[in-house]
Structure 1
Amino acid sequence: MIVSRTINRVFVLGIDGAGQFIRNTDTPNILKLLEAGALTYEAQTVFPSISAECWGAMFHGVDPEKHELTNEKAATLPYPENSPYPSFLKLARQAWPDCKLAAFSEWSPINDGIIEQSCGLHAVSLPSPDLAEAAADYIRANPDVKILYMQFDQVDAAGHKHGYGNEGHLQSITDCDGYIGTVLAAIEDAGLMKDSLVIITTDHGGGGDGKPKSHGSADPLDMTIFWGCYGPGIKPGTKLAADLSIKDTAAVVAYALGLSAPQTWEGKVPGDLFN
């Protein structure tokens, strides 16, 4: 497996609570990009399928029983700097002390309690429309950013309000696709798409275990998520292994940037991703 070393930066764009439901509503911006790269609707998140546990697994490459994050901890405590499971952002900071790292998270506990404070992020928390515009402005002004992460929270809120997979939830996903389109346009405008890896995914689904407005169970509706990426070295229409995990995201980011993944990480680079 050889990754193109023309990948100079990574964008990780996350939609909270989207599960695999993006295929049930209009998402033209997401699909245009990911169908030109790699996309699966059968990736798996971690149990319990709750935001902090799942985003924590994505950043730190391990199951919740190891990173020990919960929504309550993330909202009140910084992630321990002595953890044997560093995030991919901390890995980048250690490799490049002066590089630009950014996190635009609508749900502020991601910036404050899931990502280590030593990462020295440009950290922003705003509602969805404003968050997309702020990220777009940042990208255009900082084309030398190394990693930029985004999290849109409104889709999960719509799932809790309307029921996951129901009309209000699906409309929120379509709205979020528009916000992601704003960010992708900024990446294009800045001339960065040609040498960037763009990952788009979610943390969990919802509506499983007979609870249409909730999530957290091991039901496939809660556990099954979409995951996709686009960038140098990824052939259009790449088929991803059925066992792809949200934990693999950290390993993919590290590998794309030429960083050595910690042996403590459980996530792996899918063997069929980079060609």
Structure 2
Amino acid sequence: MKYRSISIGIFLIIAVAFTFGISCNKATISERKVKHTILIGLDAFGSRGFQKASTPYMNKMIANGAIAPFARCLLPTNSSPNWTAMLTGVGPLQHGVYDNDWERDKVKWPPVESTDEGVYPSLMNWVKVQIPSSKVNFFYEWKGLARLFDLSQVDKVYLGEKGDVIFEKAADSFFEDLPDFLFINIDEIDHYGHQDGHDSEAYFNAISHYDSIIGHFIERLEAAGLMDETLLMITGDHGGIDKGHGSTSLNEIEIPILLYGADVKKGLVIDKPCYIYDVPVTLAYALGVTPPDASIGRPILEAFDPNSISAPYVPMPNISPTKGFFPKPPVMVEIKVDDADAKIYYSLDGSVPTKESGIVYNAPLQLNNSTLLTTVSYKNGTYSRPEVNQYRIGNGKEGKISWDYYEGDFLRVPDFKSLPIKKSGMSNEFSLKEIPHRPDHFAVKFEATLTIPEKGKYTFFSRSDDGSKVLLNGKVIVDNDGSHSSQIKNNQVELSKGNHEIEVWYFDDTDGEGLEIQIAGPGIPKQIITEKFIIESAL
């Protein structure tokens, strides 16, 4: 199979520009280093989820292998462009897969290079062309995956409906066929992210479940003496926030890349930037295979250099229950970290704790009042990223914010005056936590009176999935409208001391939901608007 270059007008210009722009990153090709390569791609396996979940087998891999803990995927943080990047070594500008709406008959721009099927050549194609005797197996759970690649020469392709079964069949195929490259796609973790949230126990438990399955697979490889001639990599296509992904937060962008096996330096934490498109180029490097000239990925050579210096890394704490509104006290909070040697420090005043200023966590905390809890893990002079959770604890009474609930198929915040109200009630904050609603296709209008303690500049933040608007005294001050995954918009306004009428308009389309309205101003650190800012319903 030969690849065809696209040489039409602007695409040639783009390709040439990228050739010059990325020539310093061109892959270094070497002699073949391993007999086998395995790539395990876990959908929605973000850096945050990996740090918080219990992953004893992957932790063992890291201790005896390498990790880039904060690699980055591509924008948009959707599955189709990122799975394509993970196996092609290029981004949407080169491979042409612009978002999840892409189909082979819905092309906005062609790939800069393509196979006979019109898609950018993937690692599977590189291996089959350059190693004619090679074997390549492709096992996947997400039905939309195969459309992204030319699998015409792949030796074994299997689509399954249950991740455990797919993984078992893929592992068995490895021992039967001893392929040069085995790819395993697991979609199940993403399901729990959308259903329960990317900071939920169900999501973390799904990661832990596949950690165990991966660990048993590695034990089989080691027992068979195959790990010394095999390079195994694990990564994800994106992370997530709330119950969605597709936007620009670090929670969605950052993914871990784990390397384990032949010639990988033990215990290495890679500090330099790594990207999702580095994954196939690294596997190609290990196989002695050359990526196409358009490749923008680079092999992660640090993982194979015995002189590489390890960067410090400590996983962040996992707090349960996570932030949110609780109708009445007490709220019992448990904090843990997936490192037996790490200590946990916390603060209750919004400051980032240190071992000097923080409180050592030894037992579950009982919270009786609304609290801004900030935690870090600490080990060998290194702190994790801080984890901030705002607990809003009510007094068991009805809230002061009035809301009306509507249903319909919306792509923008609707004209509420033209819609029938399905139900109404009172809540403690501008969120969906206290509002009974169906899974998709609904809208909510909130109204209340906001009290401002002193004159000054105040910033209002709206994080929503899908669209929202914040109005103050009848004027839109934050416009976060449209059908989209969780994203934040903000705006600063000058306010007088006293009362101001506030409205929040929200709608949900599909694939995730969420709403948070925050405020920051003189003497007020950024925080969710709670009952302390509300004096009464506007109605």
Q: Out of 38, 49, 52, which is 2:80 matched to?
A: 52
Aligned mates of 2:42, 2:184 — CA distance in 1: 8
Q: Out of 205, 229, 243, which is 2:239 matched to?
A: 205
Q: Out of 155, 160, 166, which is 1:131 matched to?
A: 166
Whether 1:235 and 2:265 are equivalent positions in the alignment is yes
What residue number does 1:73 align with?
102
SS in 2 for 1:161: helix
Aligned mates of 2:40, 2:104 — CA distance in 1: 21
Q: Which moved more, 1:252-261 or 1:118-127?
A: 118-127
What residue number does 2:52 align with?
24
Name the one with the larger strand percent.
2
SS in 2 for 1:118: coil
Asked if structure 2 preserves the Cα contact closer than 8 Å seen for 1:103 and 1:124, the reply is yes
Aligned mates of 1:41, 1:123 — CA distance in 2: 30
Measured after TM superposition, the shift of residue 3 of structure 1 is: 6.6
Measured after TM superposition, the shift of residue 121 of structure 1 is: 3.5
Aligned mates of 2:31, 2:129 — CA distance in 1: 22
What residue number does 2:89 align with?
61
What residue number does 1:252 align with?
282
Residues 76 and 163 (structure 1), Cα distance of their counterparts in 2 relative to 1, 3 Å cut? farther
Aligned mates of 2:106, 2:192 — CA distance in 1: 27
Asked if structure 1 preserves the Cα contact closer than 8 Å seen for 2:81 and 2:100, the reply is yes
Residues 230 and 17 (structure 1), Cα distance of their counterparts in 2 relative to 1, 3 Å cut? same
SS in 1 for 2:183: strand
- Written as runs of structure 1 = structure 2, the 5 A alignment for 1:1-275 is 5-20=32-47, 21-69=49-97, 70-73=99-102, 81-82=115-116, 85-110=120-145, 112-126=146-160, 127-143=162-178, 145-207=179-241, 212-275=242-305
Q: Which amino acid aligns with 1:263?
A: D
Asked if structure 1 preserves the Cα contact closer than 8 Å seen for 2:69 and 2:269, the reply is no
Q: Which amino acid aligns with 1:165?
A: D
Asked if structure 1 preserves the Cα contact closer than 8 Å seen for 2:29 and 2:288, the reply is no
Number of aligned residue pairs: 269
Asked if structure 2 preserves the Cα contact closer than 8 Å seen for 1:61 and 1:267, the reply is yes
Aligned mates of 2:279, 2:52 — CA distance in 1: 24
SS in 1 for 2:304: coil
Which protein has greater RCO, CA pairs closer than 8 Å, 6+ apart? 1
Asked if structure 2 preserves the Cα contact closer than 8 Å seen for 1:38 and 1:237, the reply is yes
Asked if structure 1 preserves the Cα contact closer than 8 Å seen for 2:228 and 2:261, the reply is yes
What residue number does 2:8 align with?
none
Aligned mates of 2:299, 2:74 — CA distance in 1: 17
Aligned mates of 1:139, 1:234 — CA distance in 2: 21
Aligned mates of 1:140, 1:242 — CA distance in 2: 35
Name the one with the larger helix percent.
1
Moved over 6 A (4+): 1-4, 75-79
Aligned mates of 1:121, 1:114 — CA distance in 2: 17
Aligned mates of 1:188, 1:108 — CA distance in 2: 31
Asked if structure 2 preserves the Cα contact closer than 8 Å seen for 1:13 and 1:200, the reply is yes
Measured after TM superposition, the shift of residue 25 of structure 1 is: 1.3
Residues 116 and 2 (structure 1), Cα distance of their counterparts in 2 relative to 1, 3 Å cut? closer
Asked if structure 1 preserves the Cα contact closer than 8 Å seen for 2:234 and 2:258, the reply is yes
Asked if structure 2 preserves the Cα contact closer than 8 Å seen for 1:85 and 1:265, the reply is no
The gaps in structure 2 that reach 5 residues or longer are: 1-27, 306-539
SS in 2 for 1:104: strand
Residues 120 and 76 (structure 1), Cα distance of their counterparts in 2 relative to 1, 3 Å cut? farther
Aligned mates of 2:280, 2:171 — CA distance in 1: 23
RMSD: 2.3
Q: Which has the larger radius of gyration?
A: 2
Asked if structure 2 preserves the Cα contact closer than 8 Å seen for 1:133 and 1:182, the reply is no
Q: Which amino acid aligns with 2:254?
A: T
Asked if structure 2 preserves the Cα contact closer than 8 Å seen for 1:204 and 1:224, the reply is yes
Residues 75 and 161 (structure 1), Cα distance of their counterparts in 2 relative to 1, 3 Å cut? farther
Asked if structure 2 preserves the Cα contact closer than 8 Å seen for 1:248 and 1:267, the reply is yes
Residues 41 and 74 (structure 1), Cα distance of their counterparts in 2 relative to 1, 3 Å cut? farther
